[in-house]
Homo-oligomer: A and B are copies of this chain.
């Protein structure tokens, strides 16, 4: 099972109790012999670093790279909270992930490659690990017809198929660290590998509910 964790969890000053409460949820998931793989987002610290690089005239790939580096620091925080239930280092490639999966019940990583949002990374990780479920725990409580933080009339979907979702999001421009509920690449990956996916608001309770199959947030479905 792959869980993308919104970068907002790691907003400074980070709350140790919140981290511990996520850790408790992840540990409880392992009791059912499921091996959760957590992908931490970068959050506002990543956006700050990306902004200064942009101000200095850096290219988009390097901006992506510094965002990845921050998401790995966030992964490291979560690992510390999970103590010896988690693989002790943050995998930095698919090969390192594969090896980590051989040895510990919980794996935490951040971004992997420039050009990929942490959402796309999480989708690839779900594909690579043949995950039974991909939970995208994000800042909003599901997929909306428009950005609900801007457009109050945006409508939330209970289900959306990958083609409609692709059309919805491919209108928006791509830039490192921007609002990316789901980027085009992650939708293409979900589609090519028919990955069972759910977008939810990021709380420990919601994650637990989603792992139990509750119908919260938005389900992404792949049509023939």
Contact = CB atoms under 8 A, between A and B. Distances in A.
A148 interface: no
Interface string A98-116: 1101111000000011111
B56 A16 contact: yes
Given A53-B77, A53-B80, A115-B113, A98 B89 contact: yes
A18 to B, nearest CB: 10
B113 A60 contact: no
Summarize A's interface: helix, strand, loop or mixed. helix
A127 interface: yes
A153 B173 CA distance: 32
Nearest to A23: B56
A120 interface: yes
Contacts of A30: none
A32 interface: no
Interface string A72-113: 110011001100000111000011001101111000000011
Interface stretch (A139-147, A181-189, A200-208, A210-218): A181-189
Interface in A162-194: 166, 170, 173-175, 184-185, 188-189, 191-193
A128 B115 CA distance: 11
B58 A80 contact: yes
Q: Which 7 A-B pairs rank lowest in CB-CB distance, beginning with the nearest?
A: A88-B98, A16-B55, A113-B113, A61-B128, A174-B188, A14-B52, A58-B80
Interface of A: 12-14, 16, 19-20, 45, 48-49, 51-53, 55-62, 65-66, 69-70, 72-73, 76-77, 80-81, 87-89, 94-95, 98-99, 101-104, 112-116, 120, 124, 127-128, 130, 166, 170, 173-175, 184-185, 188-189, 191-193
29 contacts: A13-B51, A13-B52, A16-B55, A19-B52, A19-B56, A52-B77, A56-B77, A56-B81, A59-B128, A59-B130, A59-B193, A62-B80, A62-B94, A65-B94, A69-B76, A87-B99, A87-B102, A88-B101, A89-B98, A99-B103, A102-B104, A103-B103, A115-B189, A170-B170, A170-B184, A173-B192, A174-B192, A184-B184, A184-B185
